[in-house]
Amino acid sequence: MSIPLMNVPLSGERVHVTYRLAGDEKLAHEKAAALVLEQTVEFPAELVPAGDIREKIVGHIVAFERADENHFTAVIDYAAEITGGELAQFLNVLFGNSSLKPGIRVEKFELPPALLEKFRGPRFGRAGWRARLGLPKRPLLATALKPMGLAPHALAELAYQFALGGIDLIKDDHGLADQPFCPFRERVEQCAQAVARANRATGMQCIYMPNITAPADRVIANARFARAAGAGALMIAPGITGLDTMRLLADDDSIALPIMAHPALQGSFVTHPDNGISHYALFGQLARLAGADASIFPNVGGRFSFSRAECASIVKGAQVKMGHVKPIFPTPGGGMSLERVQDMLELYGREVIFLVGGGLHTHSPNLVANCRAFRKMVEEF
């Protein structure tokens, strides 16, 4: 049979994706040549029909250069229309099948204006969230309610102490879901009330940020419940729910709360430098495109292994110009102690949320005093 050609004109707008390819020049170029087919027509080159499909639907290698001794950088562009103007299919074009091939990493991407317009991105971003909190300048201070196993009233008591001590954002630990020993609704109600009670005592505006990560049919319901109960922001793990579920949450006008992305289950994208998606693109660009207002990642020097350079790259991805898509807060978690605050302020600057966990508990036996000491350090910056 002869395969009919498509007859829908394309705009000419193209998505640019930069890939890092491991191997010598020959192998790396083979990988680039495979990418333009694999991410589009998935067809052997000789079978691709001539005309628009071969010329415009198949990706184009627009740059190819050596990055270091055994790596090359290829910039490939794709017709904007193949993404269908949606995040799910954009992810598929970006890295769907090629994620299955070793030695290919997505470094960064650029969307043309007409495609960017399809994405609302973060509803608040840095400036919007700061305005809500009445905190125009200094870094924000966050902590987590833990450990898993505590009943709602015990977590609420912790939340009260943190709020009393001047923490800005109190989130659920990401392991708090809807367990029988700590049901979601009870926890959210009690913690939100505890934080409100502390705010009445302090006159501050601490917010409670529950983890709404849940089965696919309960995420939005959890968010609505949390909002009604008094939560001031929401945390979700897009590696578990899918990035587009976070996008849906961010786009929902009936929820309209700031969103913090947690990196659970996303680690395999970044654990090997030859594979996956760069820290910059994953925790910066993609988190923003999917509507996060803040993006948690493991801080350098903690119990994880992100390097200082990787953390710095996330800061860049969180604020690189992406049309109207707002810059967001990098949120380094873990590895923070009072002794390291100065160093972290140098690395991250003031447009950051510091997420302090164990450090708040270990500094001294007085939790409220520890919170105040952290806050003082940050306020003095």
Amino acid at the residue 201: A
> Which one among 40, 143, 190, 319 touches its own copies, defined by CB under 8 A?
40
In sequence order, the β-bridge partners of residue 172 are 145
284 φ, ψ to 5°? -105, -85
> Which one among 161, 295, 331, 370 touches its own copies, defined by CB under 8 A?
161
> Which one among 13, 52, 107, 186 touches its own copies, defined by CB under 8 A?
52
Least spacing, CB of residue 251 vs its own copies, in Å: 9
Contact range with its own copies by CB under 8 A, out of 125-133, 173-181, 312-320, 342-350 = 173-181
What is the rounded CA–CA span in Å between residue 205 and residue 188?
A: 17
Tokens of 269: 């994208």
Contact 235, 260 (CB under 8 A): yes
What is the rounded CA–CA span in Å between residue 171 and residue 191?
A: 10
Residue 174 touches its own copies, criterion: CB under 8 A? yes
Least spacing, CB of residue 91 vs its own copies, in Å: 5
| Residue 293 DSSP label | S
> Which one among 245, 299, 319, 331 touches its own copies, defined by CB under 8 A?
245
> Which one among 25, 62, 179, 350 touches its own copies, defined by CB under 8 A?
179
| Closer by beta carbon to its own copies, 116 or else 154 | 154
Residue 97 touches its own copies, criterion: CB under 8 A? yes
CB-based burial label for 251 (10 Å; 0-12, 13-18, 19+): middle
Least spacing, CB of residue 149 vs its own copies, in Å: 4
Tokens of 116: 């960017």
> Which one among 159, 169, 198, 214 touches its own copies, defined by CB under 8 A?
214
> Which one among 349, 362, 364, 380 touches its own copies, defined by CB under 8 A?
362
Least spacing, CB of residue 293 vs its own copies, in Å: 18
3-state secondary structure of 8: coil
168 φ, ψ to 5°? -80, -40
Size of the site for its own copies (CB under 8 A): 101
Contact 144, 151 (CB under 8 A): no
> Which one among 27, 33, 48, 377 touches its own copies, defined by CB under 8 A?
48
Residue 284 touches its own copies, criterion: CB under 8 A? no
| Closer by beta carbon to its own copies, 91 or else 141 | 91
Region 304-323 residues binding its own copies, contact defined as CB under 8 A: 304-306
Region 9-38 residues binding its own copies, contact defined as CB under 8 A: 10, 34, 38
Residue 242 touches its own copies, criterion: CB under 8 A? yes
Residue 253 touches its own copies, criterion: CB under 8 A? no
Contact range with its own copies by CB under 8 A, out of 122-130, 131-139, 197-205, 356-364 = 356-364
What is the rounded CA–CA span in Å between residue 320 and residue 291?
A: 15
3-state secondary structure of 215: coil
What is the maximum span of the chain, computed from C-alpha positions, in angstroms? 78
| Closer by beta carbon to its own copies, 186 or else 199 | 186
Contact range with its own copies by CB under 8 A, out of 7-15, 66-74, 188-196, 344-352 = 7-15
Amino acid at the residue 106: V
Residue 235 touches its own copies, criterion: CB under 8 A? no
Residue 299 touches its own copies, criterion: CB under 8 A? no
> Which one among 275, 278, 295, 299 touches its own copies, defined by CB under 8 A?
275
Relative to beta strand 140-145, strand 353-356 is parallel
CB-based burial label for 254 (10 Å; 0-12, 13-18, 19+): exposed
Residue 345 touches its own copies, criterion: CB under 8 A? no
Contact 353, 142 (CB under 8 A): yes
Helix (H) or strand (E) holding 131: helix 125-133
What is the rounded CA–CA span in Å between residue 186 and residue 169?
A: 19
| Closer by beta carbon to its own copies, 83 or else 129 | 83
Tokens of 186: 């009870």
> Which one among 140, 150, 206, 344 touches its own copies, defined by CB under 8 A?
150
| Closer by beta carbon to its own copies, 242 or else 323 | 242
Helix (H) or strand (E) holding 220: helix 219-229
